[in-house]
Amino acid sequence: MKFCSECGNSVAQCVPTGDNRLRHVCVSCDTVHYQNPKMVVGTLPVWEDKILLCRRAIEPQYGKWTLPAGFMENEETTVQGALRETVEEAGARIEIQQLFTLCNLPHISQVYLIFRARLLSLDFAPGEESLEVRLFEEPEIPWDDLAFLTVEYSLRQFFDDRRKGQYGFHIADIPRRNR
Amino acid sequence: MKFCSECGNSVAQCVPTGDNRLRHVCVSCDTVHYQNPKMVVGTLPVWEDKILLCRRAIEPQYGKWTLPAGFMENEETTVQGALRETVEEAGARIEIQQLFTLCNLPHISQVYLIFRARLLSLDFAPGEESLEVRLFEEPEIPWDDLAFLTVEYSLRQFFDDRRKGQYGFHIADIPRRNR
């Protein structure tokens, strides 16, 4: 951020009165421009013993497999956002079952929320941001070609819980990726 | 938003190519300025049969009672943010126990996350944003003077669960307040 979005003048970094961290503050109109983490909402859609994954048609991680998920939009709920992303990326009709994982990614200031969902029909199809959408049984999951650690974490928790016969709710802090 | 935070020129509202909703887009450098929901993180601190509440020293809802909570900051996790707000507003040392409520407020594009927590000592004290901090037994809760519906919802779920002898995780969509 270099300019004030309210008046167009320059911003400087300083700690506003009563605050305790650096903010972008307009040198002209004094507006403080707060920056906060973004939420990514998505689903883990299940059909019988299979999971729906999408192959990404966009960067980052072009060509890698992911759960349908994306940035939550203003004026929607977390569930509405997760349903919307599942339609946009996979053309899939689902029923949300529970909030399944919450992943903190503090190094990129994001929080992922993934809902476990029941896929309601097989007439899904890739949206503009997907190259391909298909169902995977557990042994077929492309572990080495998953787009994000949040996706890997959610899938591993899902298969663990399925073996136990009970689905929980899981929170994790995901470190910076080193590969 | 009236000006581009990257180049200082004017922004216009339009639907970017490949998108499906109105965004603020710079007429000069074409930067798209996305706006996304903000997360509010906080705690419900418990000491024996009592709950810690803070009386707000800031607007909105000056003078009303709230759970310690505030906007999540970049580069922190949800738990770190909840702990930080509890220190800042109540000077309280706590131990987080579980994510207890998630409240969607789509009309103001916010998502609240409240963690159930154990208060570790009685040496709490109001921070700059609080007039007063104290413990309440259930019959003393100032239901008519709570700052936010998210606080009321979280407290009601807490007392309900306590009566049942088991704490769950609760998601709610909170409507616009009509009082």
User: Mean pLDDT score of chain A, rounded to an integer?
Assistant: 96
Q: Mutation test of the interface with chain A: which of B33, B74, B88, choosing the one with the most A Cβ atoms within 10 A?
A: B74
Please give the model's pTM, rounded to 2 decimal places.
0.95
Q: What is the per-residue pLDDT for B60?
A: 95
Residues 54-73, chain A: which have Cβ within 8 Å of B?
71-73
Give the model confidence (pLDDT) of B64-118 as tens digits.
999 999 999 999 999 999 999 999 999 999 999 999 999 999 999 999 999 999 9
Give the model confidence (pLDDT) of A126-155 as tens digits.
999 999 999 999 999 999 999 999 999 999
User: Please, which contacts does A32-35 make with residues 24 or more away whose CB atoms are closer than 8 Å?
Assistant: A33/A1, A33/A4, A33/A5, A33/B5, A34/B71, A35/A1, A35/A109, A35/B74
User: Which chain B residues touch A102 with a CB distance below 8 Å?
Assistant: 78, 99
SS3 assignment, position B22: coil
Residues 8-47, chain A: which have Cβ within 8 Å of B?
8-11, 18, 21, 33-39
The closest CB to that of A37, out of B4, B39, B99, belongs to B39
**Omega of the bond leading into B60 within 30 degrees of 0 (cis):** yes
Token duo for residue A102: 């919450």
Do the Cβ atoms of B173 and A77 come within 8 Å? yes
Give the model confidence (pLDDT) of B20-47 as tens digits.
899 999 999 999 999 999 999 999 999 9
Q: Cα-Cα-Cα-Cα dihedral of A126, A130, A134, A138, to 10°?
A: -150
DSSP type of residue B152: H
The closest CB to that of A102, out of B6, B80, B99, belongs to B99
Q: Which pLDDT band, with edges at 50, 70 and 90, does A177 fall under?
A: confident
Q: What is the per-residue pLDDT for B178?
A: 61
